[in-house]
Amino acid sequence: MQTKITKIPHDKPELIEIQCHSVSDEVREIVAFVKSRQGRVSGMADDKMYEIAVVDISYIEAVDNKIFIYTDKDVYESRQKLYELEDILKKKHFLRISKSMLLNLMKVDAITPALNSKFTAVLFSGEQVVISRKYVPDLKKALKGEIVK
């Protein structure tokens, strides 16, 4: 795929246009990246496509090979893979907290110890999600402002 950048005057709105033969996964990935840079990701609910503001997302979970985006009130299904969303949302304070979940740290009210060597993240909504022990070092790094690979 070739790329072309054209400078435009300030009075015209900026636009990214993709000319493609078919809307492949690669194209979707590029679109998702651009949207995430603008603070939005796409999600389906009731057969309709919605643009969800990243700041509204509490967590993203993979269940039976499907990806669900949870906000305080709604649940959306995403066509993207969890690792793709992880890559896109890393810089927006999203962190992998288990094999199947990405958590928006900005939505976490407190962290409490859990019974079986894990921690629990208590969200502002009152919901609780489990942080696996394996991902605790990444959480510590993220909270210190270090880059999590």
Partner 1 sequence: MTFKEFILSRVQVFFVLVTLILFGSAVLGEIYAPEQELRYYHMFSPILLAGACVLPTCVTYFKKEPTPLQYILRQALELAIIEVIVMLLVSPPPSYSGSETVFYITLGIMILIIYVLIEIMTWLQKYRQAKKLTEQLKVLRVKE
Q: Which residues bind partner 1 (CB under 8 A)?
A: 93, 105-106, 108, 110-113, 115-119, 132-134, 139-140, 143-145
Our CB check for partner 1 shows the closer of 24 and 125 to be 125
How near is the Cβ of 114 to partner 1 at its closest, in Å? 8
- Which one, of 133, 132, 129, 149, lies nearest residue 141 by Cα? 149
How near is the Cβ of 109 to partner 1 at its closest, in Å? 8
Q: Strands 57-63 and 128-131, how do they pair?
A: unpaired
Our CB check for partner 1 shows the closer of 42 and 104 to be 104
How near is the Cβ of 146 to partner 1 at its closest, in Å? 11
| Alpha carbon distances (Å) from 122 to 13, 56, 58, 61, 104 | 41, 16, 11, 16, 11
How near is the Cβ of 61 to partner 1 at its closest, in Å? 16
> Could you tell me if 61 and 67 are in contact, meaning their C-beta atoms sit under 8 angstroms apart?
yes
| Alpha carbon distances (Å) from 58 to 22, 55, 72 | 32, 8, 7
Our CB check for partner 1 shows the closer of 37 and 134 to be 134
Our CB check for partner 1 shows the closer of 57 and 78 to be 57
